[in-house]
Amino acid sequence: MEQVSEKELLIMELIHYFMIKKNYTPVIIRGIDNEIWLENPNGEFRIIRIVTKEIFNNEQFDFDEFKTKNIVGQIKRKTFNPFIDVLTIYLEMGDNFKKKNNDNKFLKYVYAYNEDDLFNNEIINSHYSDLKTHIKSFDDETNILGKITTDISQKNFEENERLNNMYNQKKTIVTHILIFINLLVFLLMYIIGNGSESTETLIKFGALNGMLVKSGEYYRIITSAFIHIGIFHILCNMYALYSLGPIIEHFFGRLKFLLIYLYSAIIGSLFVLIFNGDNVISAGASGAIFGLLGSLIYFGYTYRGYIGNKMLNQVIPVIILNLLIGFTTPGISNAAHIGGLIGGFAISYMFGSDNNNTISRKVSGIIVTLVLTIFIIYLSLFQ
């Protein structure tokens, strides 16, 4: 059996520490060799980068730094996050290399030839003071490599199982109920009214109108999301709900999904009141549907370490295309779309996810959603 070197063992110990102890997940970057990228949105550093190759001189270091900045720039654009801090741990430096000072706010460096260098490093002691205890705990293990490999494999298995369980063995209920209510209201508009395109019937059933809302009929802010104008309108929205609803319902659960849907509908309606004036009659579930798209963006962003950026790359073009259609087609309210999209993302951020649900994130999510709600209500009803 081939003997493992001290450097290889240290690499495995670091990966074990950041993945098991600090809840980092691997980031897959194409075309990158001899380095490991780990990410945790709530970590002391968002990205930990472990470089296993030797850096011979400062010219090679400068190129490595340039490449890192370029990759981080791509991550920033894909995640819409301009503030990503990276800690790079170099494990082998050549004799001709002169250490660079840690004067960059978002790029920090640790130079460690062995465990003692790590334990004595100022950045490690400041942010990861328990690293020494964690690594030393392996001294009593009879099979260090087996322990490390088993723990990492088990964590990956549990995460994959948890993600798979979002889609399997779950009955979609709330989505179907919402579709049924929308279809029932649409039929009743023809049975007891003059049809879905009749202004009188739309007003009677609770369509959105600024003057009526401001006169005290606030229920229209939500009832309008269950009213549709014409068969094409309801078929498009119900197909979107049928496609998107189960994903969000499985991810967040039935109650949270319902709250996301209703909150997005409300924010979408309030945006209409702000931008479309008091005399416009508006109706439809578009705000709520775009809220589900906003929630899907949050979902894809949160779990991109496991599902990659494929979901984000698919959802964002759909949103852009629909907004372009809204801007160029008469009768479509992009205000509801934009409001619902913002509302859906905000309340999804407030609810959080299993792997991103710290107390600080919960508090910030509540504050963001509360401020957004108060601000939009003020602009739509009191201005």
Query: Residue 282: phi, psi to the nearest 5?
Result: -130, 150
Annotation says 337 is catalytic: yes
Catalytic position from the list 228, 233, 250, 337: 337
CA angle 278, 178, 362 (to 5 degrees): 80
Q: Where are the alpha helices (DSSP H) in 276-383?
A: 286-302, 304-307, 310-328, 334-351, 359-381
Distance between CA atoms of residues 55 and 100, nearest Å: 12
Catalytic position from the list 264, 286, 295, 333: 286
Distance between CA atoms of residues 374 and 383, nearest Å: 13
Q: Are 335 and 274 in contact (CB under 8 A)?
A: yes
In this structure, how many other beta carbons lie within 10 angstroms of the beta carbon of residue 167?
Answer: 11
In this structure, how many other beta carbons lie within 10 angstroms of the beta carbon of residue 236?
Answer: 16
Residue found by looking up tokens 């102890």 in the block: 21
CA angle 312, 294, 234 (to 5 degrees): 110
Distance between CA atoms of residues 47 and 88, nearest Å: 8
Tokens of 88: 């790079």
In this structure, how many other beta carbons lie within 10 angstroms of the beta carbon of residue 92?
Answer: 16
Distance between CA atoms of residues 179 and 185, nearest Å: 10
Instruction: Cite the active site residues.
Output: 286, 337
